[in-house]
Structures are given as structure tokens and as C-alpha cells.
Chain A
Amino acid sequence: MADPMKIRANLVGDSTEVKVLMSHEMETGQRKDSDGKTIPAWFIQRVKVTHNDKVVLAAQWGPAVSKNPFVSFKFKGGAKGDKVTITWVDNHDDTRTDEATIA
């Protein structure tokens, strides 16, 4: 089971600023270990962010995204106390969902 994400969601003016840290290896599949064997690719493929059941961000990621990725974005229409839900799915079909309250 993957580690929880670290999520901050703050209302700035009329938009909500969301900052997310995810804990993930993000292996490209291009690296080799000390025995010369290829380390298999292992990375987040899909990210979905919803606010009140409405999708505000959907992304397809590839192996070029760094280890322990950081995502920052803004969307309009959030209010203090609303919930923001973030889900990622990686190429092993492992998934993690976390929630934060807009402050």
C-alpha cells in the first residue's frame, strides 16, 4: 500500500490553489540495477482530482515525471470547507485516494 499523499488546498481570491505531494518511485524502465538488470518501469499513469464529484483535473502521466511528484494547480468555484479528492493509478494498477478540505 502506497504512502498517503500530502495535500494542501487553499482558497486564494476566487480560485482554489491545490498543492499535492505524492510518494511514488516513478521508475522509468530505462535504469539498470547494480547487477546490470533493467529495473522495470513503475510509474503513475492516471491522476484525477474531483471537487464535489466534479472532475477539475484529469491527467495522463508517463515515466518522465520525477520521483515523489509534486503537482500544483488552481481551479475556480471552490469554497472553504469543500472536499478535494485526488486519485492516482499506476501501471501496476496500484492506486491511492486521499482527500483534503479547502482552507
Chain B
Amino acid sequence: MRTITRRAVAAAVLAGTLAVTVGGAFAESTADEIAKYREALQDGNPAELWEARGEEMWKAPRGPSHVSFARCDLGLGPGVVKGAYAQLPRYFPDASRVMDLETRLVWCMVNQQGYSEADATKTKFGNGSAHRSDLEALAAYVTAQSRGVKMNVALDEPHVRDMYRLGEKMFYYRGGTHDFACATCHGDDGKRIRLQDLPNLTKVEGAQKAYTTWPAYRVSQGELRTFQWRLNDCFRQQRFPELAFGSDASIALTAYLAGRANGAAYDGPAIKR
């Protein structure tokens, strides 16, 4: 009786070892293959098509007031885009609010170009050529002008620091039908959704790599997606209430993750599966 049990245990242990080894090798090669796939696509990133459209839109007179974005201040002075994204979110005294890029673009469209808030945010996320998002194209253009610039969010500014702290709280806050926090998926190494490795955002390298590669062209959607979209979809996957576009909650999380990415060179718009 005893020997039989021992043999059974030994067999089970052996089987366990095999399963772990095979599983590990599989996961590794899959991640390698996805990395190769990304590398192969890097050369012809369709995000450039969004950048080109965004540049045209940035320079052309728009809206009921017929003015361009030349007067739109992203934090480095009216019309300055070079390096602006690397310092967002930031506090804007003219709006008395901490804003991320998308919120600021909407602010300029409403306050300078004369759009209504509803018109400016009508197509937040594009869907095919019949429903294109101006915000996504503008974001692609503006962010591309920060490529290679080191992330430098002003965490010593009191308003931004408050937002950062709020974002940190939200990151670890568990809720919703699944009792999920952002940290549930993004708090450990080696977590994944299906075959996609998830970045560990509690580590500086993880946060840097993740934040500096958004916006990105999502091949599976054929669309360019911004950080507002990324957060919105994370909330959906967590079964949280929908994250309102440009809300303080979305900006707080953005401030937290952007602040954690400080010091890393911005590397977007990228391309992702």
C-alpha cells in the first residue's frame, strides 16, 4: 500500500515538473514570437497615416471660429507641440484643472475654435473610415513630436501631485463585480490576458515601457488608440462603470502612470497587436 502511494506521488510530481517545463517554454517562445511580430511591423506603422492627418488638422483653421491650433497651449506656449506630450498631464491655470492631452485638445476646440463640448467629443474613439476620430489623429501628431523626449511630468506641482496620489489610490482600489483593481492584473510579473503579457506597472521599468508606447496602432482593430482609450478599455475589462472621457478619474490615473514613467524616453505612437 505504502509503495503504491509513493509511486503515485512520484509519478504525479514528475508529471507536474513536465507540465511546468513545457508550459514555461511555450510561454517564452510565444512572447518571443510576439516580439518578433512587433519588430517586423515597426517599419510600416500605420500610425503614420494618423500622424499625417493630425498634422493637417493641427495647422488648418477649424470650427465655427475658424481658427487653427496655433493658439492652443499644450503647456509649452501657444502652438508648441515639440516635447509637449512628455510633460503632460499638467496643471493649466486658464482651465483651473490638471489636463491630459485629449482633455486639453477638447478644451482648445471648445474655447478657441468654438465647437460645443458635445461636437468636440462626438467621436472619441474611431471606428473605420466612416467614423474617424479627429482626437485620435491630433493625438497621434502631437505625441509623435515628443518621440525621444524624456518623460518629465511635474510631480512637484501641487495640483499634479494631488492627481498623482489620487491615481495611485485608484490603481490599488478593488471594486466592481469581479472585485478587481488595476493592480490585480498589473501588479505582478508574468501576468497575461490570453497570449498578451501584461506590464507590471508597480515597477518603474514596467510603467515606463507601457506608458511611453501609447498611443499605439492596434493591428487587431486597425485603429490608432490613445491613453484615454486604453484606460477606458481596462475599466470595461474590470467590469467597472464606464470611465467618462476626460474625467478627473481618467486624468488622475494618467497622471499616476505618466509620473511613474518619468525619466524614460517617450517612444510612441507605437504598434501593438
Contact = CB atoms under 8 A, between A and B. Distances in A.
A72 B42 CA distance: 13
A70 B128 contact: no
Interface of A: 3-4, 6, 19, 21, 23, 25, 66-68, 70, 72
Given A3-B53, A67-B222, A68-B222, A21 B128 contact: no
Nearest to A5: B49
Contact of B128 (A4, A25, A66): A25
B8 to A, nearest CB: 51
B43 A23 contact: no
Contacts of A66: 219, 222
A21 B222 contact: no
Q: Is the interface of A mostly helix, strand, loop or mixed?
A: loop
B39 to A, nearest CB: 14
B227 to A, nearest CB: 21
Interface of B: 41, 43-46, 48-49, 52-53, 128-129, 219, 222
Given A67-B222, A68-B222, A21 B53 contact: no
A102 B266 CA distance: 30
A45 to B, nearest CB: 17
A21 B129 contact: no
- The 8 tightest CB contacts between A and B, nearest first, are A70-B44, A67-B222, A68-B46, A23-B49, A6-B48, A25-B129, A21-B44, A21-B48
Contacts of B49: 3, 6, 21, 23, 68
A4 B245 CA distance: 30
A3 B49 CA distance: 8
Contacts of B44: 19, 21, 70, 72
A19 B41 CA distance: 12
Nearest to B46: A68
Nearest to B132: A3
B45 to A, nearest CB: 8
A36 B219 CA distance: 23
Given A25-B222, A66-B219, A68-B46, 19 more contacts: A3-B53, A4-B52, A6-B49, A6-B52, A21-B44, A21-B45, A21-B48, A23-B46, A23-B49, A66-B222, A67-B46, A68-B49, A68-B222, A70-B41, A70-B43, A70-B44, A70-B46, A72-B43, A72-B44
